[in-house]
Amino acid sequence: MASTSLLQSTSTSFAGVRLPCRSSGASRVGISSLSVKASAGTAVFVDKSEAETVSRLKTSYLEKIVPLLKEEFAYTNILEVPKIEKIVVNCGIGEASQNAKGLDAAINELALITGQRPVKTKAKTSIAGFKVREGMTLGIAVTLRGNVMYSFLDRLINLALPRTRDFQGVNPNSFDGHGNYSIGFRDQSVFPEIKPELVGKARGMDVCITTTAKTDKEAYKLLALMGMPFREGSGPSTVVRKKKLKSHHFDSRSRTRKY
């Protein structure tokens, strides 16, 4: 069993919890340093090797999923294998924009879910019909990369989605045609970090998974191998996008016939 030690600094703060520690106690106990993690609002001392372990989803991707994708799609270079580039989590705050406490509550909830503090998204233009002024805070967003991204995706697939009411699988047609996938949640309380009895108002959120896949078929296979519970008996449909019309298409002079 690994030896233990109190923290060397005078105090350590994490997840909103501040723990007083004295360096003099370490010399009396005579034990080495420990890593600290938060669990349900309490401090848990864990072995340092466990704290530095790479996300299991990332390990599974590197050891199992990459060889399967390389064999199925006949990639000649390992860099061609699609991977998840980033995950963007958006949350609209609605009436909370007029309430400072509601905005702080929404920020804290999204920070608990993602493990990263979100940023505020502001309106670029004023819209009188929606009572929106330029510079007004309309929502919050988080961009996840690296190990934090894999950790969030692991909890999303294995904890949040199965807790959704009447869950029958996610829609496989939510790809954008470029290998990116989006999921919408009506209630954030499906994540175990959020306690429903402490949340005043249910808030929704959008999760956008950006991949390096060139086609939706490759991205679908990547997410399916990672454990994404797609709806049975269906697959990604081919999206036919209309050509964007330019100004000269609407010019009345160009539509007149010349004899």
Average pLDDT over the chain, rounded to an integer: 75
Residue 115: what pLDDT?
A: 87
- Specify the range with the lowest mean pLDDT, choosing from 16-25, 63-72, 80-89, 173-182: 16-25
Question: What band does 129 get if pLDDT is binned at 50, 70 and 90?
Answer: confident
Q: Give CA angle at 191 (235, 57), nearest 5°.
A: 60
Tokens standing for residue 40 = 């349900």
**Which residues does 150 contact at the CB level (< 8 Å), separation at least 6?**
55, 57, 58, 61, 84
Q: CA of 50: how far to CAs of 2, 33, 115, 159, in Å?
A: 11, 13, 18, 21
21 — phi, psi (to 5°)? -140, 150
Asked if the model's pLDDT at residue 191 lies above 90, the reply is no
| Average pLDDT score over residue span 96-113 | 81
Please say whether the beta carbons of 183 and 206 come within 8 A.
yes
Q: Highest-confidence range of 15-24, 167-176, 186-195, by mean pLDDT?
A: 167-176
Question: What band does 52 get if pLDDT is binned at 50, 70 and 90?
Answer: low
Residue 25: what pLDDT?
A: 42
Residue 48: what pLDDT?
A: 56
| Average pLDDT score over residue span 198-219 | 86
Asked if the model's pLDDT at residue 102 lies above 70, the reply is yes
pTM for the full model?
A: 0.67
Residue 192: what pLDDT?
A: 82
**Which residues does 10 contact at the CB level (< 8 Å), separation at least 6?**
20, 21, 22, 23
